[in-house]
Amino acid sequence: MIRTYSSTSGRFDWTGLAFTILLAIVIAVPLLVVFTWAFTEVWRYPSVIPQKFGLRFWDQTLSRADVWEALSISLRLSATVTALSALICLPAAYAFARMKFPGRDLFFLSFLASHAFPKFGLLVAIAAIFLQLNLIATFWGVVLIQLVGTLMLMIWIPVAAFQAVDRRMEEAARDVGAGPLRVFWSITLPQAGPTIFAAVLLTFVSTFYETEGAWLIGAPQIRTMPVLMINFINNQVVIQYGAVLSVILWVPSFIALMFARRVIGTGAFAKGFGA
């Protein structure tokens, strides 16, 4: 394993600093604006900072039952979809990475297909089928539609992770007496672990924010957070509603990232994302 440590001695890395600042501006400024709006009661042009801060819109948002219900549905959906996706995709990814079977390449590419065509057309077609199966506006209907969207991510990233595991490490484990299952559990999975964890995290977060499928299949009974947010914005143009919901929507991302840092450490986590 190669570790690179940023040098604390020697010349200062000005280019790196410039990139850091640029990235910080591009990423942080929009977030900051939204964050500010969420705690604003009055903010009129041309003032740079709001005239009146306050939690009025938080009270209004959080007192609504549909917000809490949507949050609960979103969390349950994301957890279910991620778990199912991992259950289906991880063994498949291992098979793709390590086994040779007829039609392997074609089958592998087919996972890309769901992302290769305009998604909305596909969704409409699936919606028509779900209508006949009475899956429209049900929890499991939304689970199914969101599952399709996660397959590619959950196959391709773990396949790369499994392929990157040195075969000699696995052979060395067999050599000292570990059976195939033990090798997978003690060597392959820990080696591929950070990358797979990153894939699971990405799947959870992207499912949480998925809108099209959830809206088309779930509406009107199953309303996720992003769908609710669209409703809010469509019905009354009050920026604060959107901002408050947006800040609430950050929460799962933050929790996931914090959890990731605690569990596997920043270095391994960044490595999982290819850094």
Helices 65-98 and 139-164 sit at what angle, rounded to 10 degrees? Answer: 40
- Residue 169 Cβ, how far from other proteins at the closest point, in Å? 5
- Residue 146 Cβ, how far from other proteins at the closest point, in Å? 32
**Cα–Cα dist 266/87, whole Å:** 26
Q: Cα–chain-centroid distance for residue 4?
A: 28
- Residue 85 Cβ, how far from other proteins at the closest point, in Å? 25
Q: Does 186 bind other proteins (CB under 8 A)?
A: yes
Spatial neighbors of 200 by CB under 8 A, at least 6 apart, are: 82, 86, 154
- Residue 95 Cβ, how far from other proteins at the closest point, in Å? 20
Binding mask 142-181 for other proteins (x = CB under 8 A): ------------------------x-xx-xxxxxxxxx--
Cβ distance 81 to 147 under 8 Å?
Answer: yes
Q: Does 260 bind other proteins (CB under 8 A)?
A: no
Q: Does 264 bind other proteins (CB under 8 A)?
A: no
DSSP conformational letter for 4: -
Nearer to other proteins by C-beta: 105 or 175? 175
Question: How many chain residues bind other proteins (CB under 8 A)?
Answer: 21
Q: Does 105 bind other proteins (CB under 8 A)?
A: no
- Residue 197 Cβ, how far from other proteins at the closest point, in Å? 13
Q: Does 16 bind other proteins (CB under 8 A)?
A: no
Nearer to other proteins by C-beta: 174 or 261? 174
**Cα–Cα dist 107/103, whole Å:** 6
Which range of residues in 42-50, 94-102, 189-197, 234-242 is near other proteins by CB under 8 A? 189-197
- Residue 201 Cβ, how far from other proteins at the closest point, in Å? 19
Q: How far is CA 7 from CA 4, 11, 12, 24, 228, in A?
A: 9, 9, 9, 21, 48
Q: Does 101 bind other proteins (CB under 8 A)?
A: no
**Cα–Cα dist 117/39, whole Å:** 40
- Residue 162 Cβ, how far from other proteins at the closest point, in Å? 15
Cβ distance 38 to 247 under 8 Å?
Answer: yes
Q: Does 2 bind other proteins (CB under 8 A)?
A: yes
Could you give the count of Cα atoms lying within 13 Å of 5 in the half-sphere of its Cβ? 3
Q: Does 187 bind other proteins (CB under 8 A)?
A: yes
Nearer to other proteins by C-beta: 56 or 182? 182
* Two tokens, residue 123: 């969704």
Cβ distance 146 to 76 under 8 Å?
Answer: no
Residues within the interface to other proteins (CB under 8 A): 1-3, 166, 168-169, 171-179, 182, 186-187, 190-191, 193
